[in-house]
A and B are shown apart, each in its own frame.
Chain A
Amino acid sequence: MLELLWEASLNLAQWKYLLPLFLGTLVGVVGGALPGVTITMTIIVVLPFTFGLDPLQGLAAMTGVYVGGSAGGLVTATLLGIPGTPSSIATTFDGHPMARKGEAGRALWTGVWASFFGGILGGAFLIAATGPLAAFALQFGPWEFFSLFVLALSMVAGLVGASLLKGLLAGLLGMVVTVLGNDPMLGAPRLTLGIQTLEGGVPFLPVLIGVFAFAQVMGEVERSGGARAAGEAAARAMSLAVSHAKVLWEILSRPFLLVWSSLVGVLIGVLPAVGGSAANMMAYDQAKKFSRRPEKFGSGIPEGIIASESANNANVGGSLVTIMAFGIPGDAVTAVMLGALTIHGIQSGPLFISQNAELAYGIFAAYLLAHPIMVLIIAATARLMLRVVTVPKAALFPVVLVLCTVGAFALNNTMANVVLLAAFGVAGYAMVKTGLPLAPFILGVILGDQIEINLIRAIMTDPDPWLFLTRPISGLLLAASAGSVAFALWQHRRMARLAE
């Protein structure tokens, strides 16, 4: 495998491949940084351009988008507190507070370097264990997915913030949102009010950017309203400078955190249908659980950024596992990438690897090469990006809201999503006002329908309910869920006592 990868890397090191890889990464960083534009959407925009290229050029460009997008999301997440993509939700938890404290440069670069190392570690896991990882992925039936999502949902207990009750309520509200729309298995309409666009359920993206972006913008407007001049003076005093040696040390002196978060990212990436939105939050939750200072999480400490950002780039590596092992896509983004090959007459599947080894390993090589390119691109543009925090909010926020609206529309090219965006924006603002935390809510939205679908699918496949406990991986995951809740409650109590 290493030999093939080496050959593919040498092959890729030609201008005709490096140029599309560079452009793809650049487009990815921009798309990822724009709130409301997801990586999948960016890759679909790039798709038609790849038809005129040779297959490897197209794949290099799209792999660049994938890696660049995963990193680009952190720019908006740290500087504005709005996740640029769903895979950088958890980056806002500590990245934005750190930037607000006047350390925007440090927050940004902690994220960039964590992305870099996470991505490379993800690649290392991939080289070392494609076979076992792929076998692991195949063990996952609906029972295992159900239990995995229950484990993920148990993170709500760790993300609740000050009030346990309000946190659980927010998580529940998030799950209620996923009930809207046609029942995913039998198609019975639920609370659709006869509106056709609601039949497919509420798409995740307008909810995410509605809740985060709108609430964030409103919060900032309120804050800067009275003390406008003071706020902007503070913004100007913000430190854009950064000591790379210090940031690198902060990351590399925490090898366990980095490796563990990357492993969480890879494992979640290997499993089809889970994706980056869950990986970064799970890694964040794990980091908090293992931390000696969990009470500091959310106040702007580097651990939170490192966990989230290393996990989401390692996640990209994980999603390549199913391509390298079976030639089938692991998520929506890789599905578009392999789908694009059909226009060149190349079908995905197990034969894809044996018949097109150059392409399969080319994707892998492009994934690894895209990481240093991503760092270079951000290094070249960091000054510009960091300026964002010094732009007067009155000029910046209208732009952000317009971008969010465009993103919501472009998702399906329908106005309905813009309406949903507005509705959830108001709802998110109301939640912030009433002290309901946003993170558990979003987690509920991400996981609600997955839990439902897999529960029903498991029972349809085999009516025996004990299978959830007797299938080893499923049973283990459920036990971990119980443990996770107990631990989070204990931690919550301890923190409450410390606060007293």
Chain B
Amino acid sequence: MKRRHLLLAAIALAAGSATTHAQDAYPSRPVRLIVPFPAAGPLDLLARIVSQGLNEQWGQPVVVENKAGAAGGIGADAVAKAAPDGYTLLVTVEIPLTMRPAVTREMSYDPRADFAPIAGLTRSDNALFVHPSVGVDTVAQLIAKAKAEPGRLTFSSAGYGAPAHFGGELFKTETGVNMTHVPYKGAAPAMNALLAGEVSAFFGPVPQGLPHVRSGRIKALAIAGTRASPLMPEVKPFPELGYPSIIVSTWFGALAPKGTPAPVLDKVRESLAKVMADPGVRDRLGKVGMDIEWMDGPELGRAIDAGMKRWAEVAKKAGVKAN
């Protein structure tokens, strides 16, 4: 194992020597990857795979540091205010950059002005899960049931402003029904509430619901993405059911503090591209429902713009207040 590390490090060094001087110097000491959510979730897994890959290429320790809290705001804020030298990077799901601004009146960081986007890495779709006690098998039946009993059906989420919250609100505005949002603290308790039948529905991540769908404890009605999931090929996406806007598909990416030198950003981006090109990595991420979807810096910047605009509109339309 160790020998392989050394070998890869040597290859990385050899490859690096062909490029500019600034890139040669970076990284000359350990790099911190800030993950703004707790350890052991899908994002954490991605960050740890990335850190391992970068470590092999650079021969420098790349340390994952979980700074959780405030829907990712604490960790994002820490990176926004870190020295722009490439030694503090943010690996995050889009939540603190696109969704949190829609429900937060005073942000301590600016998702666009305070960060230099490096690359988008993966994407993960959510799905609409319901408890069998609701007695519906299709989206149409769920809509009919919700219309018959306005406000009676409930949906859980990992918290106010979480993807599942937006998913539920989108569903409400797009189909014209009324359902009640019940927030939980994290995706796991939100799923447990659905498993116990405390809530009727949950727009949860596909892999999180998959084992429970297979065991028959919950049902998957639709994928909130543009295409079917390879994990649940039998479940249709919302656009195919006539609801093109009910999409809750989140990207995962890497960013640096604004002002980080371009050669450093380029080097990180190149190295990330190599990690994501590894078929083994693709396999491991696929198992947790993440598809590799590469975006370069400017594309990621546009994705942040588009996301901020979209979720702000959804929040406005659904009457979700900013605090």
Which residues of A are in contact with B by a Cβ distance under 8 Å?
Answer: 44, 47-48, 51-52, 138, 140-142, 182-189, 194, 196-197, 199-200, 272-273, 326-329, 335-336, 338-340, 342-343, 345, 347-352, 412-414, 453, 457, 460-461
Residues of B contacting A184 in the complex (Cβ-Cβ under 8 angstroms):
183, 185
The listed residue (A186, A338, A340, A347) touching B323 by CB distance below 8 A is A186
Given contacts A142-B198, A187-B323, A342-B287, contact A414 B215 (CB under 8 A): no
Closest to A351 in B: B211
Extra contacts, 5 of them, besides A199-B69, A350-B217, A461-B199 (Cβ < 8 A), are A328-B188, A336-B39, A338-B40, A412-B67, A457-B183
B185 touches A347 (CB 8 A): no
Residues of A contacting B103 in the complex (Cβ-Cβ under 8 angstroms):
187
**Cα distance, A47 to B40, chains bound together (Å):** 9
Given contacts A196-B77, A196-B108, A457-B182, contact A339 B67 (CB under 8 A): no
A-B contact pairs, 15 of them (CB 8 A): A44-B39, A47-B39, A138-B195, A185-B160, A187-B103, A199-B69, A199-B73, A200-B69, A272-B189, A328-B192, A339-B39, A339-B41, A347-B207, A350-B215, A412-B74
The listed residue (A51, A196, A413) touching B48 by CB distance below 8 A is A51
A413 touches B66 (CB 8 A): yes
**Cα distance, A186 to B180, chains bound together (Å):** 13
CB distance from A360 to the nearest CB of B (A): 13
Given contacts A343-B45, A345-B287, A347-B211, contact A326 B74 (CB under 8 A): no
The answer to whether the Cβ of B112 comes within 8 Å of any Cβ in the partner chain is: no
B70 touches A48 (CB 8 A): no
B73 touches A460 (CB 8 A): no
A461 touches B40 (CB 8 A): no
**Cα distance, A460 to B185, chains bound together (Å):** 15
The answer to whether the Cβ of B284 comes within 8 Å of any Cβ in the partner chain is: yes
Given contacts A343-B284, A453-B185, contact A188 B323 (CB under 8 A): yes
Residues of A contacting B198 in the complex (Cβ-Cβ under 8 angstroms):
141-142, 461
CB distance from A355 to the nearest CB of B (A): 9
The answer to whether the Cβ of B25 comes within 8 Å of any Cβ in the partner chain is: no
The listed residue (B68, B104, B207) touching A412 by CB distance below 8 A is B68
**Cα distance, A414 to B211, chains bound together (Å):** 36
A197 touches B323 (CB 8 A): no
Residues of A contacting B39 in the complex (Cβ-Cβ under 8 angstroms):
44, 47, 336, 339
Residues of B contacting A182 in the complex (Cβ-Cβ under 8 angstroms):
70, 323
Most chain A CB atoms below 10 A, which of B103, B189, B215: B215
Residues of A contacting B214 in the complex (Cβ-Cβ under 8 angstroms):
349-351
Residues of A contacting B108 in the complex (Cβ-Cβ under 8 angstroms):
196
CB distance from B236 to the nearest CB of A (A): 23
Residues of A contacting B287 in the complex (Cβ-Cβ under 8 angstroms):
342, 345, 347
The listed residue (B69, B161, B195, B288) touching A187 by CB distance below 8 A is B161
Closest to A343 in B: B45
Closest to A196 in B: B108
Closest to B212 in A: A349
Residues of B contacting A326 in the complex (Cβ-Cβ under 8 angstroms):
195
The answer to whether the Cβ of B106 comes within 8 Å of any Cβ in the partner chain is: yes
B45 touches A342 (CB 8 A): yes
B69 touches A412 (CB 8 A): yes
Residues of A contacting B212 in the complex (Cβ-Cβ under 8 angstroms):
349-350
Given contacts A199-B70, A328-B192, A343-B45, contact A351 B185 (CB under 8 A): no
B67 touches A196 (CB 8 A): no
Closest to B152 in A: A462
Residues of B contacting A189 in the complex (Cβ-Cβ under 8 angstroms):
323
Given contacts A138-B196, A347-B210, contact A194 B215 (CB under 8 A): no
The listed residue (B65, B191, B283) touching A413 by CB distance below 8 A is B65
Residues of A contacting B195 in the complex (Cβ-Cβ under 8 angstroms):
138, 326, 328
Residues of A contacting B159 in the complex (Cβ-Cβ under 8 angstroms):
187
**B 81-105 to A, binary, CB cutoff 8 A, 1 in contact else 0:** 0000000000000000000000110
**Cα distance, A188 to B320, chains bound together (Å):** 12
**Cα distance, A412 to B34, chains bound together (Å):** 11
Closest to A345 in B: B287
Closest to B1 in A: A52
The answer to whether the Cβ of B154 comes within 8 Å of any Cβ in the partner chain is: yes
The 7 tightest CB contacts between A and B, nearest first, are A349-B211, A339-B40, A350-B215, A200-B69, A187-B160, A199-B70, A336-B40
The answer to whether the Cβ of B78 comes within 8 Å of any Cβ in the partner chain is: yes
The listed residue (B40, B69, B184, B210) touching A349 by CB distance below 8 A is B210
Closest to A137 in B: B196
**B 57-73 to A, binary, CB cutoff 8 A, 1 in contact else 0:** 00000001111111001
Most chain A CB atoms below 10 A, which of B185, B210, B321: B185
